[in-house]
């Protein structure tokens, strides 16, 4: 939606493949019932929406995202008449009050500058008694794949402001916002998955594509500095072993709460 996210194919390589892994865990945590009307806010290419039927026979699912290419990719993939994908702003959702039974947001809130407004909008469009569930990456402690890049870049350029903390991705920040907005039965947990890369090139290619904040930083470097960064990151990935598969943990904060009657 923001921060350099613009190309659906590149997004799939950078993050979509991991969103698909995390989506089932977030759905289990948030809960899902038969006949639910579900909003997938910041749906990207539809990872969470497409995972819903494995958990319940929902009445409908509406995905919304600001990036048109992501919505086009989701529409092209969808074969379920219950699914709708809209281009729109999370901070001004184009839906009436109480339109949904549940709202989910998977790995997008920390990229929205007006985070509080986006959660207020989810609260508005979910009926009383419905639930709001979201997840954001723990960028500081739970993303080794990104810390490798940013920590090495920070050593090479001491003036770099590493984007390790974003809205809601510090301990307890989601829970506090949910409570501030009057939601009840609020709970925040951490969800763990793995990012598995087949080679250094599989790991590096998404950065080199220019997608997202990581890619935007890499491609804007002068050629010589980019090559120096790449070589240092390659050494960190290799870690004194032959190039090949590597598995890295990835941790997200997740929070859910119920809209009061």
What are 63-117's pLDDT values in tens digits? 999 999 999 999 999 999 999 999 999 999 999 999 999 999 999 999 999 999 9
Work out the pLDDT band at 4, boundaries 50, 70, 90.
Answer: low
pLDDT of residue 2: 45
Measured CA to CA, the distance from residue 16 to residue 94 in angstroms comes to: 25
Q: Which domains can be identified in the chain, with CATH numbers?
A: 8-258 (3.40.50.150)
| pLDDT class of 26 with cuts at 50, 70, 90 | very high
Q: Greatest CA separation found in the chain?
A: 59
Summarize the confidence of residues 227-256 as an average pLDDT: 97
Q: How far apart are CA 213 and CA 207, in angstroms?
A: 9
Instruction: Write the pLDDT tens digit of every residue in 153-193.
Output: 999 999 999 999 999 999 999 999 999 999 999 999 999 99
Predicted local confidence at residue 126, as pLDDT: 98
Angstrom CA distances, 7 to 12, 14, 16, 209, 257, stand at: 9, 10, 11, 10, 32
User: Residue 31's closest CA among 152, 239, 185?
Assistant: 185
Q: Which long-range contacts (CB under 8 A, 24 or more apart) does 78-87 make?
A: 78/46, 78/49, 78/50, 80/53, 82/58, 83/46, 83/49, 83/50, 84/60, 85/43, 85/46, 85/49, 86/62
pLDDT of 3 reads 55
């Amino acid at each position: 939606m923001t921060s350099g996210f613009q190309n659906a194919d590149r997004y799939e390589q950078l993050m979509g493949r991991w969103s698909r892994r995390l989506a089932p865990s977030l759905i289990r945590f948030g809960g899902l019932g038969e006949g639910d009307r579900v909003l997938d806010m910041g749906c990207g290419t539809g990872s969470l929406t497409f995972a819903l039927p494995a958990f319940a026979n929902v009445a409908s699912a509406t995905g919304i995202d600001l990036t048109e290419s992501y919505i086009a990719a989701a529409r092209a993939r969808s074969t379920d008449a219950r699914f709708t994908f809209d281009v729109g702003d999370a901070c001004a959702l184009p839906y009436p009050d109480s339109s949904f039974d549940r709202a989910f947001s998977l790995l997008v809130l920390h990229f929205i500058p007006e985070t509080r407004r986006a959660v207020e909008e989810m609260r508005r469009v979910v009926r009383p008694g419905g639930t709001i569930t979201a997840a954001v990456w723990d960028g500081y402690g739970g993303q080794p794949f990104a810390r490798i890049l940013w920590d090495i870049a920070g050593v090479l350029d001491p003036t770099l402001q590493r984007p390790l903390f974003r809205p809601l991705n510090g301990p307890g920040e989601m829970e506090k916002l949910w409570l501030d907005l009057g939601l009840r039965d609020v709970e925040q947990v951490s969800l763990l998955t793995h990012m598995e890369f087949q080679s250094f090139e599989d790991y590096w290619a998404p950065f080199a594509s220019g997608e997202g904040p990581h890619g935007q930083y890499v491609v804007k470097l002068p050629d010589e500095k980019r090559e120096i960064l790449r070589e240092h990151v390659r050494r960190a990935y290799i870690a004194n072993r032959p190039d090949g598969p590597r598995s890295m943990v990835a941790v997200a904060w997740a929070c859910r709460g119920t809209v009061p009657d």
